[in-house]
Structure 1
Amino acid sequence: MAEAQQGPRARYRERTRAEIKEAALRQLADGGVAALALTRIAKDMGLSGPALYRYFAGRDDLLHALIRDAYDDAATAIGAAAARSVTASQSPRERLHALAAAYRAWAVGEPHRYLLIQGAPVPGYVAPADTLDRARAVLGPFLPVFAGGSPGSGVAPVVAQMRAWLDADPSVGGWVAEYAADADTVIAAVALAGALLAWAQLHGSVGLEAAGQFDGMGHGGDTLLDAQAGMLADAFGLE
């Protein structure tokens, strides 16, 4: 609908930008960020180098767009899994397993995109400020899962640091409230600690799998992640 409301020139521009991004993703899938070459993209599309720069100011501008899209797609996948879990009236423990599985499915399904958003894709690259909100959207559905938890002593130091973070940065409280609307400061700190530890567990396991580090080993990435989610649920007393 939005595209139909644009003029022909604007629609052509958006289609061309989309085609450039698709070509860039093919290069990333074939050889990682090191294979990303704007001149080759232009050649493959029948564009001159200067013509391509009318759509993206340079490599970093193209990376900005790819990273934004990756975060948005990951957030959509996690959000859809969260909605299914709520509809199915799953317990917090079951919801954690479902969200972890959705996170892994997206990442291993498109490892080149997952690796693009986990750390700086190239030395010296600085992601645009708006990627923070996009990253928080990926983790947001984990917050209500942990909001009703009863954290054990092993994770208490993390909860305490999250309480201090809430006090120091009001935007963090706003982020929690977006996903766990009734959480007071104590509950918000627990929710943040759970989401933070879930992110660390997910990135550790899924990142290794997406990078091919599990190849030739005797376990499945799904089995490992399921065990990690179970231990995290235990640490927060999730039923």
Structure 2
Amino acid sequence: MAAQARSPRERYREQTRAEIKEVAVRQLAAGGVEGVALLRIAKEIGLSGPALYRYYAGRDDLLAELVLDAYTAVAEAVHAVDTDGGGRAALLALTRAYRAWSVAHPHLYLLIQGTPVAGFTAPPETVMKARSVLGPFLSVFAEGRPLAGLDPLLAQLQAWLRDEPEVAAWVRQWTGLPATDPAAAVALTGAVMAWPQLHGTVGLEVAGQFTGMGHSPATLLDVQTAMLADAFQLR
């Protein structure tokens, strides 16, 4: 069945919401979350303050949509990586893609991974959006053979798979493995370990904490990724 055509009013509403978000992203880039001001957005796009509230109930409503958009964008960047060959080359390509998006869009990275905004609660869909970013990592680590030192974490995540159907479904979506397959726990362990490693290095770089130090953040991340690949004996 063909999709129902949108009315002019619906198209106008969609366009206006997009314009509001575009201005909000510019404000975010210029002054962080505190720089996002609905009244200034309304003025820039030619709306009255009350009229803007017909599109977004408040700043938190707008921020929630920006958070979801940011997760969608970084997921698209990661999903575009060709991981068909698997192994450490695929893992390296994934971490590089994540870093490239983050340093190109530091204001959006900090929105989703920086200091939590006081009083703001991210929408429930955020969890699935975040998991989508890590999905390709699951498929890469599913082929791993973790070293014995990872056994304590592996056991805990095996229990998580068993106890949380949503997590099991997520892993199966990306690996095709049921929760009872030991490789499913290996995949989850790898993705969980990759996550703080990514944010530790990328977050410090985006925040400018490596300025004046004698190394390239890109090189540091590559070395850390190689060490993670070694821990899972990825080829």
TM interval, shorter chain, is over 0.9
- Unaligned runs of 5+ residues in structure 2 are none
Structure 1 pair 62–208 and aligned structure 2 pair: CA distance change class (3 A): same
Q: Is the 8 A contact 2:106 2:206 kept in 1?
A: yes
- Shift of residue 182, structure 1, vs aligned partner: 3.4
Aligned Cα RMSD in Å? 1.6
Q: Is the 8 A contact 1:163 1:185 kept in 2?
A: no
- The whole-number CA distance in structure 2 between the counterparts of 1:219 and 1:94 is 22
| Match runs of 1:1-239 below 5 Å | 5-81=5-81, 84-86=82-84, 90-119=85-114, 121-182=116-177, 184-239=180-235
- Shift of residue 216, structure 1, vs aligned partner: 1.7
Q: Is the 8 A contact 1:149 1:236 kept in 2?
A: yes
Shift >2 Å, 4+ stretches: 2-5, 182-185
Q: Structure 1-normalised TM-score?
A: 0.94
- The whole-number CA distance in structure 2 between the counterparts of 1:213 and 1:115 is 14
Amino acid at match of 2:215: H
For each residue in 1:140-194, what CA deviation from the matched residue of structure 2 results, as whole angstroms up to 9, or x when unmatched?
1000101011101222211111101011101111000100003543111110010
Amino acid at match of 2:11: R
- The whole-number CA distance in structure 2 between the counterparts of 1:91 and 1:169 is 27
For each residue in 1:81-130, what CA deviation from the matched residue of structure 2 results, as whole angstroms up to 9, or x when unmatched?
1xx232xxx34110000000000001111010011111564112111111
Structure 1 pair 34–3 and aligned structure 2 pair: CA distance change class (3 A): farther
Farther-moved stretch of structure 1 (109-118 vs 120-129): 120-129
- The whole-number CA distance in structure 1 between the counterparts of 2:234 and 2:128 is 27
Q: Structure 2-normalised TM-score?
A: 0.95
Structure 1 pair 91–175 and aligned structure 2 pair: CA distance change class (3 A): closer
- The whole-number CA distance in structure 2 between the counterparts of 1:111 and 1:38 is 22
Amino acid at match of 2:169: G
Q: Is the 8 A contact 2:137 2:191 kept in 1?
A: yes
Structure 1 pair 94–118 and aligned structure 2 pair: CA distance change class (3 A): same
Structure 1 pair 55–3 and aligned structure 2 pair: CA distance change class (3 A): farther
Q: Secondary structure at the match of 1:137?
A: helix
Q: Is the 8 A contact 2:171 2:177 kept in 1?
A: no
- Shift of residue 59, structure 1, vs aligned partner: 0.5
- The whole-number CA distance in structure 1 between the counterparts of 2:160 and 2:4 is 44
Structure 1 pair 178–168 and aligned structure 2 pair: CA distance change class (3 A): same
Q: Secondary structure at the match of 1:141?
A: helix
Amino acid at match of 1:231: M
- Shift of residue 64, structure 1, vs aligned partner: 0.7
- Shift of residue 44, structure 1, vs aligned partner: 1.2
